[in-house]
Amino acid sequence: MILIADSGSTKTAWRQITKDGVLAETKTAGINPYYQSSEEIAQMLEQSLLEQWPDITPKEVYFYGAGCSAPDKKAMVEAALQQAFPASKIEIHHDLEAAARALCGEEPGIACILGTGSNSCLYNGHQIVHNLPNLGFILGDEGSGGYMGKRLVQTFLNNELPADLHQAFQQRYHLTRDEVVDNVYRKPYPNRYMATFAKFLFDHRQHPFIYQMIYQSFSDFFEKTIVKYPDYQQYNVHFVGSIAFHFSDILRKVAQQYAVRVQHILENPMAGLSLYHQQKIA
């Protein structure tokens, strides 16, 4: 039996799998070495995961997490997991590797994340061979929930929404400029705050103004990322994340504009990761 984890800053999904399928799954709090020490991660594992599965003895543990790209951050998570599973082989991978393996398997392709934030990579079927810099919420994250939410709130505060949308937005959120400034400039995770407004976009996606806003956000992602990969039109392009999944119809239309072949669109990578590792076991 092996154990797979897909972790963000908010939650971690865990699955026990064998070559025959999934044995068990659960969720715990998120793990991010930029915000937690190795000791804090180990304590969380002891108090949550090992309380649910006290007798678990995986042969191997594959952890995919946000913040796990730098070697020192990987080492922090590895130390905590090794404490929880002293007899297990531990491997730590970045969440972009989770996307690539879940979406592409062992085939070359371009794997993209479109959730609260955005990211992408060129994958050769075995490893990531090219990754354009992710400039984050302030300077980038095109096509993400944070990016779309920011554009929506900007348009609302600048009185640029059509009257019907402006009224609907105000009635729903009762938003003020001071509240927005406080959440963006004084509180942590402004991208998460802005991404919460993606629900409004989804509910009003048939409105021409909102449709065009979503369409343009995806176009910005293609312009800043997809078209910059060498020979990008020769690859299948795949997406994972809540924004890609819930706005997949619009995403596919934007892809057609760029003559891009979209194959898989998943809400989260866990199913694809499970299949990838099951095939490795077999």
Q: Residue 247 to residues 44, 87, 101, 148, 254: CA-CA distances in angstroms?
A: 34, 43, 22, 12, 11
Residue 76 lies in a domain: yes
pLDDT digits (tens, 9 = 90+) for 252-282: 999 999 999 999 999 989 988 898 888 877 5
Same domain, 88 and 152: no
Q: What is the pLDDT of residue 209?
A: 96
Q: What is the CATH number of the domain that holds 43?
A: 3.30.420.40
> How much is the CA Rg of the chain, to the nearest whole Å?
20
Q: What is the CATH number of the domain that holds 202?
A: 1.10.720.160
What residues does 60 pair with on adjacent strands?
2, 89
CB 244 within 8 A of CB 272: no
Q: Which residues contact 70 (CB under 8 A, 6 or more apart)?
A: none
User: How many CB atoms within 10 Å of residue 129?
Assistant: 12
Residue 225 lies in a domain: no
pLDDT digits (tens, 9 = 90+) for 205-222: 999 999 999 999 999 999
Domain end, chosen from 215, 234, 255, is at 215
Domain that residue 172 falls in? 138-215
Domain end, chosen from 198, 215, 232, is at 215
Q: What is the pLDDT of residue 14?
A: 94
Number of domains in the chain: 2
CA angle 147, 121, 269 (to 5 degrees): 75
What is the edge-to-edge ordering of all strands in the sheet holding 89-94? 21-29, 11-18, 2-7, 60-65, 89-94
CA angle 273, 277, 282 (to 5 degrees): 150
CB 240 within 8 A of CB 205: no
Q: What is the pLDDT along the chain (282 residues), one digit of tens a residue?
A: 999 999 876 678 999 998 888 889 999 988 888 778 899 999 999 999 988 898 888 999 999 987 788 899 999 999 999 999 999 999 999 889 999 999 998 899 999 999 888 889 999 988 999 988 777 667 778 899 989 999 999 999 999 999 999 999 999 998 888 888 888 888 777 878 898 999 999 999 999 999 999 999 999 999 999 999 999 999 999 999 889 999 999 999 999 999 999 999 999 899 888 988 888 775
Q: What is the pLDDT of residue 22?
A: 83
Q: What is the pLDDT of residue 124?
A: 93
